[in-house]
Amino acid sequence: MSGSESWNMHKHVREVPTDAFGDISFGSLGQKTGKFARVSADTSSEVLYHLLTEQWKLSPPNLLISVTGGAKNFYLKANLKNMFHRGLIKVAQTTGAWIITGGTHTGVMKHVGQAVRDYALSSSMQGNIVAIGVATWGIIHNMDVLVDPEVG
């Protein structure tokens, strides 16, 4: 791409079968694993829904909770943080919701992750909470270890 040429997704991106998918282990949660898949930015919602419900066997949600906000870290007083954590988990539990975030460990997304982690670590777990992080590939830490060299 020359210095005067502007970037264009259709011209400068080459789509190939994914070489990044599978199970991922979360060290802070003991043996807790999740699933991940690298998909194209224009993958249809129908294909993603099929992946989540048919391939990954997630129960269809009754509600989607999208938690968005800046990625800037901020301090939350303990009582407010606890209220946010309990409220988010209670709503997700009682409605069968999926929680969707930007998938990073910063800002409000970090608080969502901590709430889900704390719930998963508690001994009184009553059903799974589904949390889905949708992050751009370029910001994933150690993304190279998520690529399967045998695929492609």
Radius of gyration of the chain (CA): 18
Based on the structure, what is the number of domains in the chain? Answer: 2
Long-range interactions of 90-95: CB distance < 8 A, separation 24+: 91/63, 91/65, 92/65, 92/129, 92/130, 93/126, 93/127, 93/129, 95/62, 95/63
Same domain, 66 and 131: yes
Give, for all 152 residues of the chain, the pLDDT tens digit.
556 678 777 776 667 667 777 787 766 555 567 888 989 888 899 999 999 999 999 999 999 999 988 778 888 899 999 999 999 999 999 999 999 999 888 889 999 989 988 888 775 656 788 999 998 888 888 888 888 777 65
Record the pTM.
0.78
Domain match, 54 and 66 both: no
In a domain, 93, yes or no: yes
Domain holding 111, by residue range, is 62-136
130 and 66, same domain (yes or no): yes
